[in-house]
Amino acid sequence: MTDSIDRRRFLKVLSVTGAGAAALSSCGIGPEPTEKLIPYLIQPEDQIPGTATYYATTCRECAAGCGVQVRIREGRAVKLEGNPDSPINRGRLCARGQAAIQGLYNPDRLTRPMIRNASGTFEAIDWDGAIQRLSAKVAGARGKGLVFLTGAEQSSFGDLVDEWMTQVGGRRQSYEPFGFEALRAGNRMAFGTATLPSYDFANAKYLLSFGADFLDTWLSPVEFQNGFSRSHAFDSGRPASMAKFVYVGPRLSLTGMNADEWIAARPGTEGTLALAMAQVIVSHRLARVPADASRLSGLLARHTPRAVAEVIGIEQQVIVRLATEFANSKGGLAVAGGMAAQYPNGAGIVAAVNVLNYVAGAIGSLVRFGADLAIGATNTFADLASLTSDMAAGKVALLFVHGANPAYSLPGAFQQALGKVGYKVSFSSYRDETAAACDLILPDHHPLEQWGDSRPRAGVIALQQPVVQPVFDTRPTGDVVLKLAGRPGTFQDYLQSKWRARQKKNFDQYWMDALARGGVYAEAPSRARPVQLAATAAGINTAAAIQAGGDQEVVVFPHPVLHDGRGANKPWLQELPDPVSKIAWHSWVEVHPDTAAKWGLSTGDFLLLKSPFGAQKFPAWITRSVRPDVLAVPTGQGHSAYGRYAQDRSANAFELLGTQVNSYGGRTFAVRASATKTGEHRKIVTTEGSPRERGQGTVEVLGLARAQGLHAGDHPFHYEETPEYAKDAVEGWGERQHEKASIGNYAGDHPRWGLAIDLSKCTGCAACVTACYAENNLATVGEQLMQRGREMSWMRLERYWLTDQKGVPQGAVNSPMLCQQCGNAPCEPVCPVYAAYHTPDGLNGQVYNRCVGTRYCSNNCPYKVRYFNWYNYAERGGEWEAWPEPLSMLLNPDVTVREKGVMEKCTFCVQRIRGAQNQARLQDRNVRDGDIVTACQQTCPSEAIIFGDLNDRHSRVYELAGNPRGYHVLAGLNTKPAITYLARVVAQETPSHG
């Protein structure tokens, strides 16, 4: 069918890499007998054609430093999976991590060094020439100001740059658009230490987040999500329980929508609330308060609930209730960050929350100082501001930029300042905003192509090794720096020398071990460094500063997957609907219905936001998940350069922000702006259908009390019973299908593959969706087609708000919807050609090469999980091409690339099932529970998905399928799904969900 691309095409691409030979000699597919088979000269020892090899390395998509295992087929990286050895992500991965290979094989990567010529345009230059010119520049710039700007780099590379800079009399500076200055300032204010602690979400009994979006972007999302699901998910053990999670913030983020309760405090008053709670705890002696808390008495006295309730905008008894719950849980963990740490009074808020943790006894147990999260060592925004002014003042003769794109996140100031710099060099892989303004671009290798390491926190050194041949004529910046520094050897040697310094005896063993495990990890987590209240704690000021500007409060928040914009050129991330708004491919502004009504605004109408610093237009998304007096805008879009997927797409929210440094040396992400309706309108690209579940058993929710009352064998969810007379016809039919399907025979009894999805674990982070795109060669269809509901997402996340009596959302329930592999499937009997049919192992098979595309199966599918190829998304140079070279190299050779006119859907990663069966057969055994792991299950950071054989009485999935919380979606239709959903449990009386 589509071997044209499925195989031969990326073989063609492959010859770029020189690994092409491998691929050609591999798969043995491709009909023309004229096709050439090119053998290896020397057989790589660790690769077997047709069999995947895994290499451990480190994900560099953010600073968290998760360990990954890269699946290599015939020299191509085809998939990233979490590395179970890594203590950070424990084998799990987020959507951004999954999409890293789209950075590796991105069609917009720079293929060679570029230099700005006399006429001001870029032209190609060879490496040696470039480096010669550059070393001349370096010599010339000595003493005239030499700066090397990097991203968050706690790594040997960082060290190397530091060494070189000291050698040439320059300085290195690191920059993260969403820095953590407030955390450090707040910690200093409260405890006199500017380091970042580690947070133990897994063992918390009560969670309270003041704006910290620890599930989407804050510090180490995968690690935190994994911990969060351990404490917050309903645990049916005895005593059955879960940690309640309360979110305080002006809008519901991905993190916020997983809360059991939402306290929409007035923006900037989060700290006041924290202090008020502390006051209650102390005055009511709700916890064993440390002695030195007495020095806070003055501060707390000023923050009685009565005094501050008005300011915060909630009733005082709510404050008292929260404080009581928090303290009585004997394991309360409060975190402050995200929005709360980006107000002008952010530091005060963080300090206040520290105080709350302190009086409740969380410090030292759940909040442990001494871990020194690397991200904390990043330079502050103040440093960048001073750099900017230096540049503007012409005090910088030579500027290097690596792993950062300040021209995008500081559109005005930095852009202009760049112009004043003598010579600007970028190591970016793309011609992004910053690179485009530079004089020389020396494209760096992709992290998957080069050596490196990173030290996300004390006790963890993650190693990074090249897993594929370089795709283009790029060079590791480390090598370039060494050359410029006139030092011998490559960066690999430098790296090893660094590591050798750490371990003298039998280094090779140590090194090989590190390579295999993806780094070295301290066995025991670093011990907590005890902290006392600092003198400054008494003077904590949490009063919300009044900002000048328009009459409307606007908060700018990092996009969960595009983050500060670095993900914007990866089609997977662009096409991935935002977990909260479900909007893809463009930016938006969140408006509360009341506000919208006031302004006569409807979803899709453009709103012009004019702040003192800039003006931008955003289409409105009307939602109750934001405060009525607040507008919220995500970053990430609105690139003026960077690549075909990112460029000229919607608006850049950074434009609205000021560049002046606030009290704690950070940047303020909340501005006052005027909002005016422009009259323009656009159709929002959203996958959201009806946001309310109509009570037809699509999702089920239980209150905690109810869930605790459940016993084995209970069936809390009522759905239509099959009448007696229909039992055989309906119930028996599925089984008979099953037997009939046994054409020929498998060994022994047939398995019945099944899935269990625990909704009280699922956070809706959408990592599974991207993993599915990666594993199953799903096409990205782009903005225009997605607008017409033609996205190919086999797995979609349905987000249904849970609302209180007043209709205010109190969190949401997220339900991954994918093919249910019905035992009694409506799609099967209607297919005229048996393309949709029942396999002996209980799957709803979909034979792509048999499908003629009548689409009857989809019409008859009550779950609507079948997707049709309206165009040939694999057509070379076609209008809808989803894998422009070399993106096609990440296609999974084990999965057919579907051609136009064919129906496709989830098949429980049947290629993995068959692979495991083949391996098992080679070893003369049957497939064991756990041999097969679907892509979604593998990546799920909260471990909500379990795959296995429902006929195996000892499998985990069998056990979960019998859980009293279990239910089948639309069970009333008697489709007998193979997927069991476990109802979400909320730590409050069951809210209505429509």
Whether 214 contacts 62, CB under 8 Å: no
Would you list the DSSP string of 137-174? HHHHHTTS-EEEEESS--SHHHHHHHHHHHHHT-EEEE
CA distance 847 to 283: 69
CB of 467 to another protein, least distance (A): 19
Query: What's the token pair of residue 697?
Result: 């058993």
609 or 836: CB nearest another protein: 836
**Beta-bridge partners for 583:** 686
CB of 753 to another protein, least distance (A): 11
Angle 316-328/270-283 helices, nearest 10 degrees?
Answer: 60
79 or 445: CB nearest another protein: 79
CB of 890 to another protein, least distance (A): 16
Q: How far is CA 29 from CA 9, 500, 817, 916, in A?
A: 11, 46, 34, 21
CB of 850 to another protein, least distance (A): 7
* CA atoms lying within 13 Å on the CB side of residue 807: 7
127 or 870: CB nearest another protein: 870
153 or 693: CB nearest another protein: 693
Before 443, cis peptide (omega within 30)?
no
CA distance 618 to 681: 10
CB of 439 to another protein, least distance (A): 38
717 or 871: CB nearest another protein: 871
Query: What's the token pair of residue 473?
Result: 């004529």
CA distance 391 to 413: 10
Query: What's the token pair of residue 120?
Result: 């001001």
146 or 786: CB nearest another protein: 786
CB of 971 to another protein, least distance (A): 12
Q: What is the dihedral of CA 895, 899, 903, 908, to 10 degrees?
A: 10
Q: What is the dihedral of CA 531, 537, 538, 540, to 10 degrees?
A: -160
Query: What's the token pair of residue 896?
Result: 């057919």
CB of 870 to another protein, least distance (A): 3
* 3-state class (DSSP) for residue 306: helix
CB of 813 to another protein, least distance (A): 12
Whether 594 contacts 600, CB under 8 Å: no
566 or 866: CB nearest another protein: 866
CB of 892 to another protein, least distance (A): 11
Whether 409 contacts 424, CB under 8 Å: no
Query: What's the token pair of residue 50?
Result: 């047709």
10 or 343: CB nearest another protein: 10
32 or 724: CB nearest another protein: 32
313 or 853: CB nearest another protein: 853
CB of 833 to another protein, least distance (A): 5
CB of 717 to another protein, least distance (A): 15
CB of 475 to another protein, least distance (A): 23
**Backbone φ and ψ of 828, nearest 5°:** -70, -55
User: In terms of C-beta density within 10 A (0-12 exposed, 13-18 middle, 19 or more buried), how is residue 130 classed?
Assistant: buried
* 3-state class (DSSP) for residue 205: coil
Q: What H or E segment, with its residue span, contains residue 816?
A: strand 809-817
27 or 88: CB nearest another protein: 27
322 or 785: CB nearest another protein: 785
User: In terms of C-beta density within 10 A (0-12 exposed, 13-18 middle, 19 or more buried), how is residue 79 classed?
Assistant: buried
CB of 542 to another protein, least distance (A): 41
CB of 111 to another protein, least distance (A): 24
**Beta-bridge partners for 809:** 803
**Among candidate residues 590, 554, 781, the one with its CA nearest the CA of residue 669:** 554
Before 886, cis peptide (omega within 30)?
yes
20 or 614: CB nearest another protein: 20
Q: Find where tokens 């209008």 sit.
A: 879
291 or 743: CB nearest another protein: 743
